[in-house]
Chain A
């Protein structure tokens, strides 16, 4: 279901462009900023360090792009989540996102509209998406004998 390739595809193209630009930019300009101004006296290790920093920065941007695209397809508030991921220091925001994200939406077999997995009925056309309690109509799972919300017995 969630293969690496399909997940990478979620990242918007803009994020790729920014990430690559930033990585190149860091690799090229950082040695000038943090090292001696003339090219001859810069240690070669400096370029390697600048390149690594550029990579980390690029990965950060790509991850933020992933949060943007992934939150969007899960029906979450994607702008807010992307900002959270970017601004919380030390990349903790990404961890928070992965722990709290909603499951993927499923498409209604009748009208094709996107609905959350926990819904018992499609919000656009009303077809049943999952077994539901006959009394309170909330979603239940097969194999249960009582509704966990209203307590009424379920008849299979």
Chain B
């Protein structure tokens, strides 16, 4: 079960909302921004770890989307496009600042040998405890940006691998390998953290 912020009624009126935005209805635009604000902001925050930057990129994403919405083919997946615009803006930002790159991982990930399988029941209990989610979040923050990105897209957005491939503009096989390396890295960090 994966948490999402949408409910079924919103899904069915998405084509109508898109139509109204295209026609220039200002209320439709505000509604559209509200509909995705929590998810899009969360994605940008996980990616950049900077709330002011995520705020600014959020606004720029919507500016770009509204600009190009006339030429958007309604049959395409709108959400994948929305997140891919956000992804590209974040990549441009990182490239300009020459900070952590979103193209190459800064670490290669951990090896299987570093996983401590003897501590299994402990880890299990911890993860199922909701408050300990903060420890998981803290470990996730220390992962490289491209790993954080696939983790949030898969588990918080609930995107299928094909959608993730579209958002991040990488082949499906790379999505799989990034996802497995991300999960291995996360687990290694969790199990190495002293409690």
Determine whether A45 belongs to the interface, using a CB cutoff of 8 Å to chain B: no
Interface size class for chain A?
A: under 10
* Closest residue on chain A to residue B57 by CB atoms: A143
Interface residues of A in 104-156 (CB under 8 A from B): 142-143, 145, 156
Interface size class for chain B?
A: under 10
Determine whether B67 belongs to the interface, using a CB cutoff of 8 Å to chain A: no
Give complex CA distance A103, B73 in Å.
37
Determine whether B162 belongs to the interface, using a CB cutoff of 8 Å to chain A: no
* Closest residue on chain A to residue B52 by CB atoms: A156
Give complex CA distance A1, B97 in Å.
36
B52: chain A residues at CB < 8 Å are: 145, 156
A143: chain B residues at CB < 8 Å are: 56, 59
Chain B binding surface, main DSSP class: helix
Give complex CA distance A68, B56 in Å.
40
B64 to chain A, nearest CB (A): 15
Give complex CA distance A143, B56 in Å.
6
A134 to chain B, nearest CB (A): 15
* Closest residue on chain B to residue A155 by CB atoms: B52
Give complex CA distance A145, B51 in Å.
13
Interface residues of B in 56-70 (CB under 8 A from A): 56, 59
Give 1 or 0 for each of B47-90: 1 = CB within 8 Å of chain A CB: 00000100110010000000000000000000000000000000
**Which of A142, A143, A145 gathers the greatest number of chain B CB atoms within 10 Å?**
A143
B131 to chain A, nearest CB (A): 30
Give complex CA distance A145, B50 in Å.
12
B55: chain A residues at CB < 8 Å are: 156
B97 to chain A, nearest CB (A): 11
A50 to chain B, nearest CB (A): 47
B109 to chain A, nearest CB (A): 32
* Closest residue on chain B to residue A142 by CB atoms: B56
* Closest residue on chain B to residue A154 by CB atoms: B52
Give complex CA distance A31, B55 in Å.
69
Of the A-B pairs whose beta carbons lie under 8 Å apart in the complex, a sample of 6, sorted by A's number, is: A142-B56, A143-B56, A143-B59, A145-B52, A156-B52, A156-B55
* Chain A residues close to B by CB (< 8 Å): 142-143, 145, 156
